Amino acid sequence: MLAVMKPQIRVEIVGRNEFWCHAVMVEWESQFPDRKLIAEERGCYLIKPEWLADLQRVAGQCFSEVLLAPDDPGRRQWFRRLMPRGEQE
């Protein structure tokens, strides 16, 4: 019997700045060393759907958030050019 692989979801980690985004990754690896995130473009990762709540919790501990990323990365970049996020302190 073949195991059915669940499709991965694409997420983006958004933090106050690069330090906090990196802190999410360090904390994730510390808390869940057996769960490897697959890095794609800057700030985007492929994860198993069942990890989403845990990743969101870890991100919250690091003043960051995890958003579902669009299937088309260019679309998110297009929106960012229209409505840039300000750097928060």
Range of the domain at 66: 9-82
The reply to whether the predicted model has a pTM over 0.75 is: no
Helices first, then strands: H and E counts in the chain: 3, 4
Domain for residue 88, yes or no?
no
Domain for residue 20, yes or no?
yes
Domain for residue 3, yes or no?
no
Question: Mean pLDDT, to the nearest integer, of 45-58?
Answer: 97
CA 32/CA 85 separation, integer angstroms: 30
pLDDT in tens, 11-36: 999 999 999 999 999 999 999 999 99
Q: Name the token pair of 36.
A: 């490897």
Q: What is the CATH number of the domain that holds 68?
A: 3.30.70
